[in-house]
Structure 1
């Protein structure tokens, strides 16, 4: 079998502050593609659930009326940056488009930091729990530096100075401000269908319970989602740990990264897209 840990050994020879893009690309495109996508979904779901952020989204109506498009647009902008880096013309255009969209709304500085913290912390914690291996210190640091660079390009000030400092800030802000709101509950109902779509077809009848299981207790409380039965929680945890073990012992390293042809495909844009047209019309 090909060496399962070759990418990890190479990552450990790199400098996460200088080589953050290469390391983060390797994590998302080679080592943990499915988990990274799910982790980013969970990160955005959590950011949508902070009451002030939820109120902004409900006010625009985009997430409720055009849920699939809104999520696809966000994903495309994020993956354009990841594929090309912030200094590539397409990466720069994706950052410009992101900034242009956000400047239409009155968003507090702490809320911007919280969203950035979700992107840094939530996917890493998913990998720590359910990845086929633990993300190493270089990978945690690279994820932090990647999103710190994005934050700087979005004008987000006072970003904590390391992964651990950001995780500590995120936990405190989450503890103090993530509370139930009707807006967050409405957004969760609209976006849950997209997470249900990631559930294997034989388990589709249990989709709502499975999605609730991958939310933690605080997120369920903030969005009004009932805790699933203990047996479902235990079963999902066991299945995800079994998957991790099988990938670790039996799977070969991914030879072809996701988006290898440079094309990101989504249901909203089967025939392609222009970065400048992503996001709400008129922004």
Structure 2
């Protein structure tokens, strides 16, 4: 396969109608590692909004059961990408997400903000560190993919364009980022989990590396000390160098699935989608409600490899 196979394939597709296929090609073939890291960062930065981070702390799942919550969220978010929104597995996954969120009275604006991070952060990551940036077709496909996810979750006031998502994310963070003790506990727990993905000698450097890639407003919201400037420059330069090297690699033929990643640890013998996640409303496992039920909480969990951890899981 040519190195530019997936770009050429996506350029031939229509992002208005083929957005799932385009997005799948981006996530599972062209940029699996980068998208994993970028989506992880996207979710991690939502913890800096006190209304989101504090709720996640109060559930106790992100401090007492973080590995399972991490795994469940990654596994639940994948089916629409892999199979499309109308596939039975995708509808089961979305029902499960909605059922969890109905237990919490969270404003719609927090849902819309979280959705915006899924669109904006990956584009910015690939602009900075990818072997190439996303094409206009791929950006538009991402917009349409998350607008569709938003409809399935009954999220209101979802932007129609990438520029709209970008304005939403930047303005929301400027207004809402602030320190919260509970949110800090969630952030600390997530970083601690990420460090366990590495051999012991690498765990401390991995945590420093993650903080080096955080922007100043995000670090300040958690009251994390900034790593030395030289560490920040070296960390970013290393990722840019990786992107340059990957330009010489052939296209990935086989898709990279979440369950193929070594840090998904909770289900060595397999799992049932309808039984993933929590049941905070007391409903029985399997009694999941409707796929298009109204949301009641912010998207929670970490999809992917933890905030910018160098995973060694391939490109």
TM-score where L is the length of structure 2: 0.84
The count of corresponding residues between Structure 1 and Structure 2 is 280
Question: Deviation at 1:199?
Answer: 6.0
- Deviations 1:94-148, CA, capped at 9 Å, x for gaps: 1111100100001111001111111111122111110111111111111111111
Secondary structure of the structure 1 residue equivalent to 2:226: coil
Kept after mapping to 1: 8 A contact 2:48/2:183: yes
- Deviations 1:151-186, CA, capped at 9 Å, x for gaps: 001010110111111111111111111112112211
Kept after mapping to 1: 8 A contact 2:39/2:122: yes
Q: Residue 109 of structure 1 corresponds to which residue in structure 2?
A: 108
CA distance in 2, matches of 1:197, 1:79: 23
Q: Residue 251 of structure 1 corresponds to which residue in structure 2?
A: 249
Q: Residue 33 of structure 1 corresponds to which residue in structure 2?
A: 32
Q: For structure 1, which runs of at least 5 residues remain unmatched after alignment?
A: none
Q: Residue 174 of structure 2 corresponds to which residue in structure 1?
A: 175
| Root-mean-square deviation over aligned CA pairs | 1.8
CA distance in 2, matches of 1:42, 1:194: 14
Q: For structure 2, which runs of at least 5 residues remain unmatched after alignment?
A: 284-315
Matches within 5 A, 1:1-283: 2-197=1-196, 203-248=202-247, 250-259=248-257, 266-281=264-279, 282-283=282-283
Question: Deviation at 1:194?
Answer: 3.2
Kept after mapping to 1: 8 A contact 2:56/2:183: no
Q: Residue 307 of structure 2 corresponds to which residue in structure 1?
A: none
Question: Deviation at 1:263?
Answer: 7.0
TM-score where L is the length of structure 1: 0.94
CA distance in 2, matches of 1:181, 1:120: 25
Deviates more, 1:146-155 or 1:45-54: 45-54
- Deviations 1:224-282, CA, capped at 9 Å, x for gaps: 2110111111111111111111101x21111111139x878720111111111111144
CA distance in 2, matches of 1:30, 1:264: 14
CA distance in 2, matches of 1:37, 1:202: 23
Question: Deviation at 1:202?
Answer: 6.3
Question: Deviation at 1:196?
Answer: 2.9
- Deviations 1:192-237, CA, capped at 9 Å, x for gaps: 0233356687643412211101211111111121101111111111
CA distance in 2, matches of 1:14, 1:190: 41
Secondary structure of the structure 2 residue equivalent to 1:4: coil
| Alpha carbons of structure 1 residues 263 and 238: separation in structure 2 relative to 1, 3 Å | closer
Secondary structure of the structure 1 residue equivalent to 2:12: coil
CA distance in 2, matches of 1:136, 1:200: 37
CA distance in 1, matches of 2:198, 2:235: 11
CA distance in 1, matches of 2:66, 2:203: 20
Question: Deviation at 1:32?
Answer: 0.3
CA distance in 1, matches of 2:150, 2:127: 24
Kept after mapping to 2: 8 A contact 1:196/1:211: no
